[in-house]
Every structure is written in structure tokens, then in C-alpha cells.
Amino acid sequence: MIDMIKKIQLYSIIGLLLLSCAKEVAVPVVVDFDFEVAKDDYSVPVKVLINNKTEGAEMYEWHFEGGEPSFSNSRNPGVISYINKGEYTITLTATNQDGSSDTKSIPIQVNEPIHIGFEVTNIENNFSPAGYTFKNITTGANQFYWTFEGGVPENSIKEDPGEILFKTPGEHKVRLEARSDCESYNFEKTITVSPYLDIDFTYTIAYNDDDYQVPVHIHIEKTAISATSYQWNFPGGIPSTSNQEDPEEIVYTIPGKHTISVTASNGKEIKTITKDIEVFENTNLRTFPNVKLGINTAHLNHTIGSFYSIADRRVYTANEIDDKTAPTIDLVYFGFSNSFGTNRFTSPDDLSDTTFPGIENAKKTKFINSQESCHCNASLTAIQFDTIEDDTLFQNLIIDETPEGVKDFDNSIVPRIVLFQTQEGKKGAIKIKRYVEDGQESYILVDIKVQKKAQ
């Protein structure tokens, strides 16, 4: 009995010792965690993934200040959302059945979303040198870095950088980097600075005034870069001044040298350019040298025409005569063959004695083909023709057609002078200088002098 009691006492002591050893080896709780922000974007809305690295715990108590959800008992609570900016705390308290407990808190800064942008204002105009101001309309950022390509200054860290000057024409990139404590965004615009002021012009003479004899009508053809205003001066012209960008027709009625000038401005630069034009006394005479008129086969074969238009200053072949060109024809030469035994100038409205078909709306022109047999008062020698510099001789000529005067002529007299008067009353003369034999392409070579206007 005594031995049994001793054994029980011994077992009790061993049990107590074992219990004491069990308490000494209890597992402690060590809380540890971190988090990842989705896309590293700390601007609301923010998504946070918790990474729990706690050891020794069996129970978890999460508090997500400002988060959704705001509380969790899960070891891995998943994704926490933050929809409002602010500084918050994530706290984890972990325990186990041994009574061990630990707590850890980590702050998280949730920022207002960055909306980046800026507005550009041109101070005066965009002609070089051009000044611009930039209004920062970015929200959610607290740091700014500006870059102005080709600007003065070239960069700035101010929220609103003030006036920036661009001296070089062309395109310039303006970049803004906006930052918060955790992220940054970039925004870019391009501004265009117009080139430096430049101005030039040419003038063209009206078709009928290309001999520069008054009255002379001119048209200005301007080339300008970066100009906004113009002042034209035409001393001696009508009008004498203009502030139009493209002046209307200018007329010079006084012979002599005249100066055309234009002053252009764009508010920053002024440039002036001048050019001279010289106009002459009106001789009321047109001269057309070395005109080829083909015999009838050349005309009908469309190689060398026989029809001449004073207004158009050109020869027409048969295939070029249409409703538009027919009424312009003043002179018709009919050469029967390459032997030049039968030749005459005939009125465009009377082609019945030629091989040419009649033309619609044709003009009436009077001719004296043979002065030597016309029995008329009109007379003009080759020497006189060569010395004509104005229409004085033509004014006194009386062009009357007679049966003898319109007769055919041959090539026995060279040069031959043929007189004519157009339907409008303009008088003129044709000097036949050469008869050129070339088969069906034979032609005569002539000079023509005629009044500009009937006198």
C-alpha cells in the first residue's frame, strides 16, 4: 500500500514536469505582411493585394481603415479597394491557442487621381519671335516639370511657368510631366511659330499691252510670308495707292519710268520692296514679223496654216477653225500651188474662189493685193513699210477694193506690199519677203503691221 502511494506521487510529479515543459515550447506569433498596388497606381480608385507572411498564428483580425472591405478574419483577405484619397492604416492582429499575439500596422497613401493638361495662349501673334503663356489645368499632382523645345527658358518646375519666348520658326513641342508622391504622367502639345516676314511681287502685263505702250494695264502677283497688312504705292498709276493684299488692276497712262512699292507688316516686322516699270508713248501700231502662211495644201494638211488672227496673233490651220476661232480670223492667204503663180489675200467671209470651205460668222476684210494695177489712191512702198514706227501713214490711207486691186498676183515682185482694212476699221499692210518652195508644205514669209485701234 505504501509502495502504491509512492508510485502515484511519482507519476504526479512527472505529469507536472511534463506540463511545465509543454508551456515552455509554445509557438509564438510573429505578424508580417506587405501589399502590392495594382499597376503601381496610387490614384483613386486604388486596388491593394495583401500578402500575408505571418507565422505561428491561427486567428487573424484585419482592419483596413478607409478600405472596402474595412475588416476581415481571413488569413488572406484578397483585394482591398480605396475610393477616396487620404492616408490610411492597414492593421493585422494575429493570435494562436497558446495565447500568443502580435500586431503590425502599415500606412498607405491614397492620392487624388492625376488629370494632366495645360492651355496655351498666344500673347500677340505667332510670328517669330512669338510669346506664349501656359495655364496648368492639372489636378492631383504636386510636382511639375516643363520642357519647352526651342523656348526661352527651355524648362521650368513652376506650376505655371509664365511667358515663354520662341524665336525660331517652325514646330516646337511643349511637354509637361506631372507627379505625385507615387506616380507621374506626361502631356504634350505642339505649337507652330510662323516664319519671319518676307515679301516679294511680280507684275504681269495685260495681253494687249505687252508692247508697254500706254495705256498699260498690269496685274500684281504677290508672294508674302507672315504678312498681315500691306501698303501699295503706284505713283503715276490709277489707282495710286492700295492697302489690299492683292490690288486690282493698275493702269499707267503717262509714258516714263514708274516705281511700284509695297510695305508689309505683321506687327513685329516691317519690310519694303520696290520695282520699276517703264511704259512708252502709244504708237497705235502692232508689228508681227516672220509670219509663215502656207499654200492651200499646207493649210488643209494641217501643217502650215493660211488663216491669221490679229487679236490672237497667230496662224490657224484648217482643223483649228471652229466656232470660237472662226470669228477672230482677219487675213486669209490663198496660194494655189508651190509654183506661186496664183496667190491672193481674200476676205474671210468670201472663200468661194478658193479651195477652203466657208467659215461661220466670218469677218469682212478689204484687200489691195496689187497696188500696181488697182487704179486707186492707196499706195505704200516696201521702204515706207520698213520705216513705219507709228500709224501715221495708215491714218491717211484709203483702202478701197477694186476688181483690179483684188486680183491674184505671182511671185515676180519681191517684196510685195498688200494693204488691208479689217472689219473694225483697222488699217494695215503685209510685206511678202520670201516665197519658200517645199512641195505641198510651201509657204510665204511675211511681216505684218496694223493699227491697234481704228483711227
Q: What is the mean pLDDT of each run of 10 residues along the chain (455 residues)?
A: 52 50 72 93 91 94 95 94 93 94 94 91 92 94 95 96 94 95 89 94 95 96 93 96 94 97 94 97 97 97 97 97 97 97 97 94 96 88 97 93 93 97 98 98 98 94
433-442: buried (b, 16+ CB within 10 Å) or exposed (e) per residue? Answer: bebbeeeebb
What is the maximum span of the chain, computed from C-alpha positions, in angstroms? Answer: 190
Q: Write the DSSP symbol of residue 26.
A: P
Q: Which residues are within 8 A (CB) of 419 and not within 5 positions of it... i.e. 6 or more apart? A: 367, 368, 371, 378, 380, 397, 399, 427, 428, 429, 430
Which domain-ending residue is among 92, 110, 128? 110
Q: State yes or no: cis peptide before 69, omega within 30 of 0.
A: yes
Q: What is the dihedral of CA 79, 83, 88, 92, to 10 degrees?
A: -20
Same domain for 171 and 138: yes
CA-CA distance, 360 to 382, in Å (whole number)? 34
Classify residue 83: in a domain, yes or no.
yes
Classify residue 8: in a domain, yes or no.
no
Q: Write the DSSP symbol of residue 213.
A: B
Listed as own residue / partner, the contacts of 258-261 with beta carbons closer than 8 Å and 24 or more positions apart are 258/234, 259/233, 259/235, 260/201, 260/203, 260/220, 260/232, 260/233, 260/234, 261/232, 261/233
Give the pLDDT score at 265. Answer: 95
Which domain-ending residue is among 193, 213, 246? 193
The three cell numbers locating residue 184: 507621374
How many separate helices (H) and strands (E) can be counted in the chain? 4, 32
Same domain for 381 and 355: yes
Nearest of 338, 297, 337 to residue 318 by alpha carbon: 297
Give the pLDDT score at 166. Answer: 96
The three cell numbers locating residue 134: 501656359
- Across 24-123, the runs of DSSP E, i.e. the strands, are 33-37, 46-52, 59-64, 71-72, 79-82, 86-95, 101-110, 118-122
Give the chain's domain count.
Answer: 4
Same domain for 446 and 297: yes
Classify residue 253: in a domain, yes or no.
yes
Same domain for 319 and 261: no
Classify residue 89: in a domain, yes or no.
yes
Amino acid (one-letter) located at 4:
M
User: Domain of 209: which CATH number?
Assistant: 2.60.40.10
Same domain for 446 and 317: yes
Domain that holds residue 186: 118-193
Same domain for 127 and 103: no
Give the pLDDT score at 6. Answer: 55
Nearest of 408, 295, 415 to residue 346 by alpha carbon: 408
Distances (CA, A) of 108 to 29, 44, 46, 47, 72: 24, 12, 10, 12, 18
Same domain for 298 and 252: no
HEC letters along 220-282 = EEEEEECCCEEEEECCCEECCEECCCCCCCEEECCCEEEEEEEEEECCCCEEEEEEEEEEECC
Give the pLDDT score at 93. Answer: 96
Same domain for 292 and 242: no
Same domain for 378 and 308: yes
Amino acid (one-letter) located at 45:
P
Q: Which residues are within 8 A (CB) of 151 and not within 5 positions of it... i.e. 6 or more apart? A: 164, 165, 166, 172, 174
Same domain for 259 and 171: no
Classify residue 439: in a domain, yes or no.
yes
* The model scores a pTM over 0.75: no
CA-CA distance, 148 to 245, in Å (whole number)? 35
Classify residue 210: in a domain, yes or no.
yes
The answer to whether the beta carbons of residues 179 and 142 sit under 8 Å apart is yes
Distances (CA, A) of 161 to 69, 178, 189: 43, 13, 15
Q: Which residues are within 8 A (CB) of 133 and not within 5 positions of it... i.e. 6 or more apart? A: 120, 121, 123, 162, 163, 164
Q: What is the dihedral of CA 302, 307, 311, 314, to 10 degrees?
A: 40
Classify residue 5: in a domain, yes or no.
no
The three cell numbers locating residue 253: 497712262
The three cell numbers locating residue 383: 521702204
The phi and psi torsions of 24 (rounded to 5 degrees) equal -70, -25
Give the pLDDT score at 26. Answer: 82
Nearest of 401, 384, 402 to residue 393 by alpha carbon: 384
Q: Which helix (H) or strand (E) holds 293?
A: strand 285-294
The answer to whether the beta carbons of residues 54 and 32 sit under 8 Å apart is yes
Distances (CA, A) of 149 to 123, 156, 159, 175, 190: 18, 12, 18, 8, 9
Which domain-ending residue is among 193, 226, 260? 193
Q: Which helix (H) or strand (E) holds 443?
A: strand 443-451
Same domain for 435 and 394: yes
Classify residue 91: in a domain, yes or no.
yes
